[in-house]
Amino acid sequence: MNDVVSFRNVGVRYESGPEVLRELNFSLTRGSFHFLTGASGAGKSTLMRLLYLALRQTRGEISIFGRDNIRIPRDELPAIRRKIGVVFQDFRLINHLSTFENVALPLRVAGVEDLQIRKNVTELLEWVGLGDQINAIPSRLSGGQQQRVAIARAVISRPALLLADEPTGNVDDRIAMRLLYLFEELNKLGTTVLIATHNRHLIRRFGHKHWLLEGGTIHDLDHRPQA
Amino acid sequence: MAFRSRPSHLPLENDSSSRFLPSIVALMVALLTFSIVGLAVLHDTVGRWATQIDGSLTIQVPPTGLSQLEPKQREAALEERVQTIIAAVSGQPGVARIAELSPDKMVELLEPWLGPNEMISDLPIPRIIEITPSSGFDFNVLEATVSRTAPEAVLDDHRIWLERISDVAVSVEMALLALIGVLFAATTLSVFFATRSGLSIHKSIIELLHLIGAPDGYIAGQFARHTMRLAFLGSLIGIAIALPVSLLIGYLGLRAGWQIPATLHLPLFFILVLIVPVAISSVAWLTAKRTVLKVLRRML
Ligand SMILES: Nc1ncnc2c1ncn2[C@@H]1O[C@H](COP(=O)(O)OP(=O)(O)O)[C@@H](O)[C@H]1O
Ligand SMILES: [Mg+2]
């Protein structure tokens, strides 16, 4: 099958609260690019958590890279997670590590050689406009700069699936465009992309598929404007 | 993306908790080292006393009240006293051997002071009984027996003094040994808690590493290695503080006429000092590893 991810009748509730997500039926085909919008509290981050295997559904079935997420043995999860790049809504940068080391983490964990790490990380940091902040620690960076570090870390290992939770919330439109181009580059290389965003301008400008999360479930707006 | 080679080491050393653990460990190890040095010195001193005690002890039988008698009668009376004491004491438990120091030996011992043989034999000199104690020997029983059978006999009481002091020293030694045990337990506990509180600071990095696909064993291994290095560093600092201070005190002691404790020459002492950093680092390693694995198991 060509689906990177597919959901069948998925529902999620936290503890004994109401169902935050329900009746989710969708799939992400290999190489697809989707925008996901929805009001604050609609469940975008929850959906992302399901996708990066930090949360399990309370009902329904999720298949990821062709595997039933519930049935994957614990020791096989890391290898699957390494195929997924995530831009967390709260960045999750490590404060005592430099920009360089933060971005290098996924490569270190994957056992990439130092020389290769140095080359790739430096190149990417130049690309996202942080070439002069390589040794800075995250707390010294502006919100927008931190966000770009988080994005660089998510894409550094060229993941098969890229998930970004409001990745352009803190940057101006010019930088947001540049970051979106980066995601598009990756997408052209085969990465499946899902971006949660509020930026309607970007959605219109880039014209990818557009899903709306409302009432706990996904509505396909299929916004395909003047491409 | 599979592992192409072994994952590299994470730079974990710059966070704030990295200073906390070594300081605590350094302090505890310094205390521990002082106690070990103290124990070595004390043990050696007690050992020296013990060798003095383990030798024979003596009973002097003076010719008290016999000075009016002729030499021949005097010696006979004295001989009778000696035999009475020997008879009474030899039945006592813990007496391996009891014998009078032979007259020849006495003469030999006294010659430098009193001159040649013929003169000595006429002098009213005390007789000496030598006792070689074995296990079960009780000084108090001996003292009672002697004063009952021959009140004028004198037990050498140097030994009593030594024995009492050495009893105290052995108690102090035991206390010191217990202190070392307690200190070691305290060190282990503080390493345990310092490691755990350090890891609560690290929870976010553990979680992130988990989410970007680092296996549990790798994450736990990284933190264990990091923590072990901090604990080892702390131990070395502690020893580096404690040893020169001990040596300085020892040097001053030597100048004041002490002897170098033999224990300090023993490999055992150095092994003990070396075991401390190794043991503490291992505790740190194990604690970190188990704590991180526990944190990770709670994650999906
Ligand atoms: N860990 C959690 N425990 C309980 N409720 C949660 C938790 N995370 C999110 N929620 C609830 O789930 C709903 C969806 O949240 P979220 O997925 O963060 O929405 P969004 O990202 O679209 O703003 C909200 O009502 C939120 O309060
Ligand atoms: Mg959110």
pLDDT digits (tens, 9 = 90+) for A35-68: 999 999 999 999 999 999 999 999 999 999 999 9
| Confidence class for position B260, pLDDT limits 50, 70, 90 | low
Look at residue A217 and tell me if it is in a domain. Answer: no
Mean pLDDT over B10-21 rounds to 68
Ligand 1 lined by A133 (C-beta under 6 Å): no
Is pLDDT above 80 for B288?
yes
- Same domain for B288 and B199? yes
- Same domain for B134 and B200? no
**Per-residue confidence (pLDDT) for residue B6, from 0 to 100:** 52
Look at residue B284 and tell me if it is in a domain. Answer: yes
Best A72, A96, A112 residue to mutate vs chain B (most B CBs within 10 Å): A96
**Per-residue confidence (pLDDT) for residue A74, from 0 to 100:** 92
Q: How many CA within 13 A on the CB side of residue B182? A: 7
B71/B239 Cα distance (integer angstroms): 69
- Same domain for B228 and B199? yes
**pLDDT tens digit sequence for B102-136:** 767 777 766 666 666 666 666 777 788 888 877 77
Which residues of A have a CB under 8 Å from any CB of B? 52-56, 75, 77-84, 86, 92, 94-97, 101, 105-106, 108-114, 117, 153, 157
Ligand 1 lined by A197 (C-beta under 6 Å): no
Ligand 1 lined by A16 (C-beta under 6 Å): no
| Confidence class for position B257, pLDDT limits 50, 70, 90 | low
Atom 4 of ligand 1: nearest residue by CA position: A14
**Per-residue confidence (pLDDT) for residue A99, from 0 to 100:** 95
Mean pLDDT over B250-279 rounds to 69
Residues from chain A that touch B16, judged by Cβ atoms under 8 A, are 96
| Confidence class for position A203, pLDDT limits 50, 70, 90 | confident
**Counted domains in chain B:** 2
| Confidence class for position A29, pLDDT limits 50, 70, 90 | very high
Residues from chain A that touch B209, judged by Cβ atoms under 8 A, are 105, 109
Verify whether the Cβ–Cβ distance B5 to A113 is below 8 Å: yes
Ligand 1 lined by A20 (C-beta under 6 Å): yes
- Same domain for B30 and B175? yes
Nearest CB to B300 within list A56, A75, A114? A56
**Per-residue confidence (pLDDT) for residue B277, from 0 to 100:** 87
Best B212, B226, B297 residue to mutate vs chain A (most A CBs within 10 Å): B212
- Same domain for B267 and B292? yes
- Same domain for B147 and B194? no
Mean pLDDT over B24-44 rounds to 82
Which ipTM score applies to this complex?
0.90
Question: How many CB pairs below 8 A link A and B?
Answer: 80
Partner residues linked to A193 by β-bridges: A33, A162
Of residues A80 and B94, the one with the higher pLDDT is A80
Indicate the residue among B152, B186, B211 that finishes a domain. B152
Using DSSP's 3-state secondary structure scheme, residue A200 falls into helix
Mean pLDDT over B229-243 rounds to 89
**Per-residue confidence (pLDDT) for residue A227, from 0 to 100:** 37
Is pLDDT above 50 for B249?
yes
Is pLDDT above 80 for B18?
no
- Same domain for B194 and B240? yes
Mean pLDDT over B184-191 rounds to 81
Is pLDDT above 70 for B251?
yes
Look at residue B58 and tell me if it is in a domain. Answer: no
- Same domain for B189 and B287? yes
Indicate the residue among B97, B123, B152 that finishes a domain. B152
Q: What is the pTM of this model?
A: 0.72
- Same domain for B30 and B79? no
- Same domain for B268 and B168? yes
Partner residues linked to A12 by β-bridges: A21
Domain housing A122: 95-158
Find the closest chain A residue to B7 by CA distance. Answer: A111
Atom 1 of ligand 1: nearest residue by CA position: A14
**Counted domains in chain A:** 1
Residue B230 near residue B223, CB atoms below 8 Å: no
Is pLDDT above 50 for B4?
no
Is pLDDT above 60 for A226?
no
Spatial CB neighbours of B236, under 8 Å, sequence gap ≥ 6: B277
- The whole-chain average pLDDT of chain B stands at 78
Ligand 1 lined by A34 (C-beta under 6 Å): no
Measured in angstroms, how far is the CA atom of residue A191 from the centroid of ligand 2? 22
Burial B152-179 (b: 16+ CB within 10 A, else e): ebebeeebeeeeeebeebeeebeebeee
Using DSSP's 3-state secondary structure scheme, residue A23 falls into strand
* Weakest mean pLDDT among A207-216, B87-96, B110-119, B286-295: B110-119
- In the stretch 24-63 of chain B, residues with CB closer than 8 A to chain A read none
Would you call B199 exposed, middle or buried from its count of C-beta atoms within 10 A (0-12, 13-18, 19+)?
buried
**Per-residue confidence (pLDDT) for residue B1, from 0 to 100:** 39
Of residues B136 and A162, the one with the higher pLDDT is A162
Measured in angstroms, how far is the CA atom of residue A46 from the centroid of ligand 1? 6
Mean pLDDT over A23-28 rounds to 94
Verify whether the Cβ–Cβ distance A109 to B218 is below 8 Å: yes
Look at residue A101 and tell me if it is in a domain. Answer: yes
- Same domain for B179 and B46? yes
Verify whether the Cβ–Cβ distance A86 to B212 is below 8 Å: yes
Domain housing B41: 12-52+163-299
Look at residue A171 and tell me if it is in a domain. Answer: no
Of residues B246 and B161, the one with the higher pLDDT is B246
**pLDDT tens digit sequence for B60-72:** 888 887 778 887 8
Look at residue B138 and tell me if it is in a domain. Answer: yes
**Per-residue confidence (pLDDT) for residue B3, from 0 to 100:** 41
Contacts 24+ apart (CB under 8 A), A175-184: A175/A129, A175/A144, A175/A148, A176/A202, A177/A202, A177/A205, A178/A128, A178/A129, A179/A128, A179/A148, A179/A151, A180/A205, A180/A206, A182/A127, A182/A128, A182/A151, A182/A155, A183/A33, A183/A155, A184/A33
Look at residue B224 and tell me if it is in a domain. Answer: yes
Tokens linked to A132: 């002069």
Indicate the residue among B133, B152, B171 that finishes a domain. B152
- Same domain for B71 and B193? no
Mean pLDDT over B280-299 rounds to 88
Look at residue A106 and tell me if it is in a domain. Answer: yes
**Per-residue confidence (pLDDT) for residue B175, from 0 to 100:** 85
Radius of gyration of chain B (CA): 33
